[in-house]
Each structure stands twice: as C-alpha cells, then as structure tokens.
Structure 1
Amino acid sequence: MTESYEVVFQQVAVGDLLELLNALEVSSEVLSDLGVSESLGDILLAEIDKKLIDGIVSYEGDICLTGRLYKFNVSNEICLPFVFLRVIKYANGIDVELSFDDTRLFDIGGLMRIMQIYADGLSKKINMVGFYGGLEPAIDIDTRYFTGDVLGPLG
C-alpha cells in the first residue's frame, strides 16, 4: 500500500499568499486542474493570479483552491512526479498544503528532510505561523517527520 505525505504551511499571511503560490508553481514544470470549492463568480481558473487570490481571500466563509503540480522540484536532485496543492481559507487563516504519494524512487526519510529544507527556505521569505510535514494527515503530531526545524517522531 502506498503511503501519502503532506507538507503544510500554516496561517500564511494574506499579503504573501500569491508570492508563496508563485514560488510553488515555479518549482514545478506544470500547474493544472485548478478548482475551487465555492463559486467565485466570473473569476477564471486558468492560472493563479491576483484576481483569483483576491477572490479567495475576500470570500465570506470557508473555501478551498486545489491544483496539480507536475514535476515538482524539491531540490536540484529530487523531482516529485506529482504533488496535489490545496489552499484552505478558514475562519482563523489560510493554510497551504502539498500532498504526495511515496514514489519508491526516494528514501522517504531523506525526501522529507529535503522537504523540510525546502519549506524552511520558503518560510524565510513568506510570513506564516509555521510549517510541518508528515504522513497525511500531518496534523497528527505522532506521524510527523518535522515541525519547523525540529524533527518529529518519524524524522
């Protein structure tokens, strides 16, 4: 059975959300299949742009933006074939999640360490409360590889 993993950027600052999503998109070869859980009127889902982000941020209520990132470069040596992107706006803030399956191409412990370094680099440029990664759902502290720069039980 294939395990699923995720990295979560917690409570990303509204003003930095577009910058974070652009950085994630630049790390991949293709971003496709954008979808949103609620209607945003005439906003097109062709690309992640300021109009789309403004629509999500100003939406009154919870909303989720999803997309698919193909050939996601975590580092110069590691490229994940597919990463599922979720942007979840809820009452307390906005989280951005990256989910992927164990590809068997990489040692998962090593891959999660590289993901920690990748997330840490982004956290230095983007205002957010924190980041963590682990088995999906990574909210479970017992199945985390890392929380910020601290290794978790699986790390």
Structure 2
Amino acid sequence: MVCCPFHNDRTPSMKLNEDYFYCFGCGAHGDVIDFVARLFHLPPAEAAKKLAEDFGVAEQKPSVLVRLKRGKTQVEAERHSLRVLRDYFGILQDWKEHCAPQSPEDPIDPRYVEACHMLDRIGNMLDILACGTPKERAEVVADMQKDNRLMRMEARNRQIREDEHGTK
C-alpha cells in the first residue's frame, strides 16, 4: 500500500500490483498506462509512448489502425479469392458434366480431364475459405497470390465465360 498521488492522502490507501492499481480512498484504478496518463495528465496513447521512451522499450506491435487495415485487406483478399475460386469451380462442374465422353470410343476432352483433376482441390480451397481458421484462410490466399495465380485464374475464367457466350 502507498499514498495515492491523485488525492490528498495522508495514510496509504492505494494498492499497487504488477497488473493494476486501485485507490480505496478516491477510487482511482487501472493499469500502468492509466496510472501514467492520470499522473501526467496525458491521453492513454501518449502515456504509452512516454513509458516506452522512459524505459527504452521499442514499439513491437503495429498500431491499431495498421492492424485493422491489415485485417480489412486480408478479408478483402479472402473474399476475392473465394469469388474467383467459386467461378472456376462452377466452370469445372460444367465441364465434368458436359465434356465427359459419352462412350469408351469418344476422344477425351481436355476440359473433362482438367475438371477431374481440379474439382477436389478447388473444392477443398473453397471449404477452407468458408470454414477454415484465419491461418488456414491466409495460407490459401497466399498460395493463390503466388506468381499472380489468382489474377491469371480470374482472367481465364472471364475468357472461358466469354467464349461460352460468344461475346468478346
């Protein structure tokens, strides 16, 4: 127990702990940042900076705004990947159904082969983007962004759809 610096205290009424402080006299409470902010009349962000400077601690985590922006960018990347993969998955389903050989003598359409090879893989990626952990979703997005795979897939999907509908 110590004398509280926030009111005229003649007998110790403030409890200091590693995680918090609490004054039984005036009710002041909080963590170390709250303590410094109140003691030096600073906003919490400035109090945190003062503590970091006073104790030589470098900022290790990005600011809240940077983290929020990064999170928003990740969500947008996941949605974009999901949209492109769903489109490709639909194309593959169409190919598997409509390009399958009708008899053993029929030539095998390369679109049918691609559909057979890729449907499970793309379906798995869609499942991860829809229901996976944040880490799993980030891995799928990173994989799709390697070597511009996502952009190439999106352009190819567009070209396939245009060719199907005879528009250019």
Pick the TM interval, shorter chain.
under 0.3
Higher helix share: 2
Higher strand share: 1
Compute the TM-score of the two structures, normalised by the length of structure 1: 0.21
Compute the TM-score of the two structures, normalised by the length of structure 2: 0.20
Greater relative contact order (Cα 8 A, min sep 6): structure 1 or 2? 1
The structure with the larger Rg is 2
